[in-house]
Amino acid sequence: MGAENNAMLSYLEDDKRFADLFNQMYFKGQQVVDAGELAEASEVYHGKPGEKGGQRTRDIKRRLKSGKELKILAVESQSDVNYIMPWRIMDYDCREYGKQIRGAQRANRELDRAGTRVYANEGERLSEVRREERFSPVYTLCLYHGAEEWDGPRSLKDMMDFGENMSGHVGDGAWKECFADYPMRLVCANELVDCSGFQTSLRELFMILACRRDKERLKELLDKNAVYQKMDEETAQTLGVLMGIKRFEENKKRYKTEKGEYNVCQAIREMMEDSRSEGSASQVIEIIENIMKELQCSLEKACKIAGKTVSEYRQSEQICGKRYCKR
């Protein structure tokens, strides 16, 4: 798991943010999930003995106990596009349901062995589950926070080949319509999403992640939202990783305000300035090295032809992180 995934998962371990994410993405900001009713439930799902690749681990899983009802909420975090993600989500959910069913079956078997009348008919005895038994529903959210567009499937149907390209076959479309699909609740942080219902700093996180690849929109967002100049440490650190701010952690004292908050706005602006400097320095290096290659000349002569000094060339190397080399 990469640094971006670790940062996002660590951020969502906070129950208030976890509840906030579900309330916004499932219920459009209505306060349906109460953070105080969430309980840690992360675990490893085990397959049958000897089953290859039978072990699965959820990224984040919580039990939501509201009254007598129990629900399972889970988040799968992705920094890269996964082209089998709908199947993975379905596999996780099925393993959770299987675990619940096996638990009920074990309890019923123990009662049956103790001589307690458990089953009302042969159907119940065959399944080892009583007709009135019900299980806890599972709600899984796939959170994609990569910078590239999500071009993968969004449901199990998207992964299937229904033979639609074989024109002229009767019933091609009907097969697709009859397919038992398994949709995936996908949230792409690089797309503009409704942030109005967020109650935590997830609002600022989603707003800025959607602007990562558009410098003008990013600049406009920072100009209009002073909140990025006074962020809590955990949010600042998370944004430092997700926004690709190099060396934010080691330089964060420079961004700390007198009130103990962090000026992420300053860090991002410096990153954008550094990016421009690196681009200019990279051009200087490329021009001079091309001259040296074409004319088979020394560094000094190539710099003179390019209208630069050797010192300027060396400075460009430092900006780009290149090593000095003798020529």
pLDDT of residue 109: 94
Specify whether the CB–CB gap between 45 and 59 falls below 8 A.
no
**Amino acid at the residue 157:** K
pLDDT of residue 168: 56
Specify whether the CB–CB gap between 43 and 111 falls below 8 A.
no
CA gap 165, 214 in Å, rounded: 37
CA gap 173, 163 in Å, rounded: 9
Kindly give the confidence (pLDDT) of every residue in the chain, 327 residues in length, as a single tens digit, with 9 standing for 90 and above: 588 999 999 999 999 999 999 999 999 999 999 999 999 987 665 555 555 555 678 899 999 988 778 999 999 999 999 999 999 999 999 999 999 999 999 999 999 999 899 999 999 999 999 999 999 999 999 999 998 899 999 999 999 998 765 555 555 678 888 999 999 999 999 888 889 899 999 999 999 999 888 888 988 999 899 999 999 999 999 999 998 887 788 788 888 888 899 999 888 888 777 555 455 667 777 787 887 887 788 888 888 877 878 887 777 777 666 543 444
CA gap 162, 177 in Å, rounded: 10
Closest by CA to 309, choosing from 321, 301, 318, 317, is: 301
CA gap 108, 324 in Å, rounded: 73
pLDDT of residue 169: 59
Question: Residue written as tokens 């078997």?
Answer: 109
Read off the pTM: 0.78
DSSP 222-278: HHH-GGGGSB-HHHHHHHHHHTT-TTHHHHHHHHB-TTS-B-HHHHHHHHHHHHHHH
**Amino acid at the residue 144:** Y
CA gap 247, 241 in Å, rounded: 9
- Exposure string for 107-136, b = 16+ CB within 10 A, e = fewer: ebeeeeeeeeebbeeeebeeebbbeeeeee
Question: Residue written as tokens 């926004």?
Answer: 243
Question: Residue written as tokens 């090593």?
Answer: 323
Quick one: CA torsion of 187, 191, 192, 198, rounded to 10 degrees? 30
Helices 264-295 and 215-224, interaxial angle, to 10°?
Answer: 150
CA gap 186, 82 in Å, rounded: 12
**Helix (H) or strand (E) run with residue 294 in it:** helix 264-295
pLDDT of residue 327: 41
Give 64's strand partners. 38, 71
Closest by CA to 9, choosing from 80, 77, 89, is: 77
